[in-house]
Amino acid sequence: MKRRLEAEGRWAGRIELERNDMMKAARKQGMSKSDAQAWVYAELDRLYPPPPSPERASGDENVRPSPLERDDGQIRGLGDIPETWPELPSNASLASEVGWVQANRLRIVAEQPSGSTSVDLGKALSPAPSWAALGWLETSIRSYAKYVDVAAKTTASDDGEAEVWRRERMTIEEVRALLEEMRADG
């Protein structure tokens, strides 16, 4: 992502500063460095897509555009929040945001024959946990590979978190057992 923007001459200046601000905000939200980097670069890729290639810009009939290039870049319905949903917070835990996208994406995203994409949030199993979850939904549509990478890392960190809690419980149980022994000896 960074290399592409550098090659396009767009990195230095505003985008680089924006990346730094986004990293700081993500870290303040409690994301690990790797999760923050994955999120920031996915967002920058979404915000600054590559310009159309010269062949496609010239209308070369032999080059078939991808579905996302055939639409006008819009994902219809993504901002149409159902009235039944509560006010969404800015962010939630990354695991809950990615989990919501995984649980609902197949229900609410439809690729049209024209190549455009539409989203019907009213078909979701539950309201999104945050506005950021809708950003992850957009990332899953525009750059599925990046989304899958973040989802895999999030799932892996959840497994690691579960292991930490398991060890913590074992440690607490060991301390309780020692206290019981001390009471019995006393």
Query: What are the tens digits of pLDDT across the range 88-134?
Result: 999 988 889 999 999 999 999 998 777 789 999 999 999 999 999 99
Q: How far apart are CA 179 and CA 170, in angstroms?
A: 14
23 and 80 together in one domain: no
112 and 169 together in one domain: yes
pTM of the model: 0.49
3 and 21 together in one domain: yes
46 and 69 together in one domain: no
176 and 139 together in one domain: yes
Domain count, the chain: 2
Q: Which residue, of 15, 33, 51, is where some domain finishes? A: 51
Q: Are 142 and 156 in contact (CB under 8 A)?
A: no
80 and 123 together in one domain: yes
Full residue range of the structural domain in which residue 30 is found? 1-51
